[in-house]
Structure 1
Amino acid sequence: MKLGEIRRTILEPALAMLPPGLGGARAEVMLLAIGLQESGFKHRRPAIGPERGYWRFDPDDDNVGAVLRHPATAALAVAVCDEQQVPPIEERVFTALEHDDLLSAVFVRLRLHIEGERLPPVGDVGDAWSLYCRAWRPAELIRRKWDRSYARAMDALSAPP
């Protein structure tokens, strides 16, 4: 799937489910970069491993549970779960993330929101990398790959629809 299509069919509708302050170019770049870093938007489930969705939620990382429990995200997460007809129970949400791209994108954005700060300005690849590492705690820290993923995400924002 091309990044423009991902923006139109996944990111824009997912971010529209959230308050306006959680959307915008900063959010789109972060979600695109993380998706490129984690899966390249090629497969919603790796050949080996329990991760789910393009953004590779891991059942052991407690990202889903954190979003469902955190005071800043719980009500939003439950509302989106209701809209997507997924019970707001950690195991049920985790299972749904493999096929429900809108729910998955919302949970990515809410997981980043838990970090309690504004998203880095578009183009600030260093702060974006730091935020990604704090939120995702990637097992394999490949900064060069992140720089390429982030650059591609920025390019996608400036590409015509």
Structure 2
Amino acid sequence: MPENHTFDSAIDYLKKVGEISSIKDLTEKTGINRDRINYLRDGKTIRKEEVEALNLAFPVIYWDLFATGKGALLRADNNNLVEEPQNIYGSDAWKKAELLLIKNGKSKLPIEQREELLIERLHEVEQNLLEIHEINNKGMIDTLKDMLRGK
């Protein structure tokens, strides 16, 4: 990737991997209003809270680049992999980005690795659903107890 990245290059990347389809999607996922997005697209100064919102919504992009002027557009391309292990191959951020590529039919991983990643994600979702089910059952039991007690 070239050294001089613009905010638009980040937006283009997010569109390419299917994270967003429009500026409206970007504003909805980050809470940053359209005027501020346009301001940032013009190369203006990004606020700390905007960097934080963007990092939460789209961790695969190194948003600090637009505050510091240093680094690569993608977190995985930066030299700080030792300092930030969540950015390396197999990390949560990498998995999220790769799952989006799989979803959009753009993953370059071999089919076996894609299957492994999808199965792992399926197990995570299954575990989350079991936890939700357990919480709901406990809530239902407590509600039934309260009803029986006349509360």
Query: What is the TM-score with the length of structure 2 in the denominator?
Result: 0.29
- Larger-Rg structure: 2
User: Comparing both chains, which one has the higher relative contact order based on Cα–Cα distances under 8 Å and sequence gaps of 6 or more?
Assistant: 1
